[in-house]
Amino acid sequence: MKLTQYFSKLLTESVNLNATRLGDLDTRVSRITEALKAASSLDGRVLDTVPQGSWAHETIIRPAAELEFDADFLVQLSEDAAWNENPRSYANAVWSALSDHNIYGGMSSKKDRCVRVTYSNDCHIDIITYVVMSNGRQVIVNRNTNEFEDTNPVGFSEWIQEKDRLTNGNLRKVIRLLKYLRDHQGAFRLKSVLLTTLVGNIVDNWRDHDGDYYKDVPTTLLHLVEDLDRWMQAQWSKPPLVDPSCPMTSFDHRWTDSQFAAFRDRIHDLAPKIRNAFDAPTVDESIAAWQKVFGTAFPGSVATATTASASGAIKSADVRRAPKEQFIEEMFPVQLTETVTITCDVSPPHDLNRVQRRALRSGAGHVPKRRDLYFAVDGTTVNGPFVVYWKVRNSGFEAEKNRSLRGEITRDAGQRRKKESTLYAGQHYVECYVVKDGICVARSREPVVII
């Protein structure tokens, strides 16, 4: 059995990085950004910061005990013709800014492509120097070789989002589950960027026509792992792997032939175990079989949604309540039997560069400050009449500093739209709830990262 609710509980209680730690990450990134902007070595060259990697793709997971999680962001510097002759100049300026800083000096270390700021026993943040050249070329700096390397961070995020849409929002959850198997269960070893690219490549566009193939988390997990296994078994040797957002960049140097072979063999072991658990005929047998895959973190039971006790417990432990924040569970019984999807439009900006415009068009979730956002219900399976409610929750250092944390739930006046202005940097979200006959039957969340 696929046990969809058990998977939700597994994700919430054991796999996902909890909201407090994500909030702390926002605060830390804001403070590092302020330090970079103030640094004399950078002298006003900091144009922007762009989340990257698992942080941007929402595939960060809770680290195994005693380990740190990792977050990457790019600091975009203005182009300097003199520095282009010696690409290391860019990276050295970022290194000076952090290593000379009274707080970050002792926390910073130099890597080939980044400066790493380490918060012991919690996380490290990699700050990667990034330049968009006047000819449109996007590069990061490799300090070791003193060369520029092509990159396309927004393109990679767009690619993941497109694949996630094709799987009804299940791809990123499956990637998190696979990373959990890697980090907590020792199921295999593979760099995150390779895992994300391989699994994303497996998502088939034509499956879109078979609405059930990526229907929910366990079904998507089963199909992606089985399809990945089939594809890997057909490879004679390490297949060429290209950065999906940057065809000039190959990932071949990121892994060896023997790493490929080991990964292929481990996935070949894993696929039948997942099939077994999925096909087990009773709940008890299925739980036992899923626990063979995920260990004891796979829940042995789930509380029914109507009691609201399970979600209430998670919520108060994981999320700091903002002043005036409301939770839908405290207003209505929640029985999620239907779905709702929402869209987000951003007011047309006038002063953005080409990359930023593309980021907005793609709905990449990264929105510059001081724009208007228009959220709208795109579709729902709920038959009318029903009432729509909206919640906007912001977080992050800036909002906190300005005492603007919020999270009230408001009733929609009937137009099924919500307008918001983006004022504070941080990781925010908008949630939409559909309430029918006094019961919340559908909810949807749209992340908004303001930079």
Summarize as ranges the residues that interact with Mg ion (CB under 5 A).
70, 72, 126
Q: How many CB atoms lie within 10 A of CB 396?
A: 23
Q: How far apart are CA 276 and CA 270, in angstroms?
A: 10
Q: How many CB atoms lie within 10 A of CB 366?
A: 23
In the bound state with Mg ion, the residue whose beta carbon lies nearer, of 98 and 289, is 98
In the bound state with Mg ion, the residue whose beta carbon lies nearer, of 72 and 164, is 72
In the bound state with Mg ion, the residue whose beta carbon lies nearer, of 60 and 178, is 60
Closest distance between Mg ion and the C-beta of residue 168, in Å? 29
Q: What would the two tokens of residue 16 be?
A: 């996902």
Closest distance between Mg ion and the C-beta of residue 140, in Å? 12
Closest distance between Mg ion and the C-beta of residue 52, in Å? 8
Q: How far apart are CA 335 and CA 299, in angstroms?
A: 19
Closest distance between Mg ion and the C-beta of residue 23, in Å? 20
Closest distance between Mg ion and the C-beta of residue 126, in Å? 4
Residues forming beta bridges with residue 421, ordered by sequence position: 372
In the bound state with Mg ion, the residue whose beta carbon lies nearer, of 10 and 190, is 190
In the bound state with Mg ion, the residue whose beta carbon lies nearer, of 126 and 243, is 126
Cis amide linkage into residue 239, ω under 30° from 0:
no
Half-sphere exposure of 211 (CA within 13 A, CB side): 0
Closest distance between Mg ion and the C-beta of residue 70, in Å? 4
Residue nearest to Mg ion (CB): 126
What is the DSSP annotation of 377-418? EEEESPPSS-EEEEEEE--SHHHHHTT-----EEE--SS-EE
Q: How far apart are CA 321 and CA 313, in angstroms?
A: 13
What is the DSSP annotation of 127-140? EEEEEE-TTS-EEE
In the bound state with Mg ion, the residue whose beta carbon lies nearer, of 55 and 214, is 55
In the bound state with Mg ion, the residue whose beta carbon lies nearer, of 193 and 352, is 193
Residue 218 C-alpha from the chain's centroid: 19
Helix residue ranges, H only, 73-124: 81-84, 88-99
Closest distance between Mg ion and the C-beta of residue 261, in Å? 26
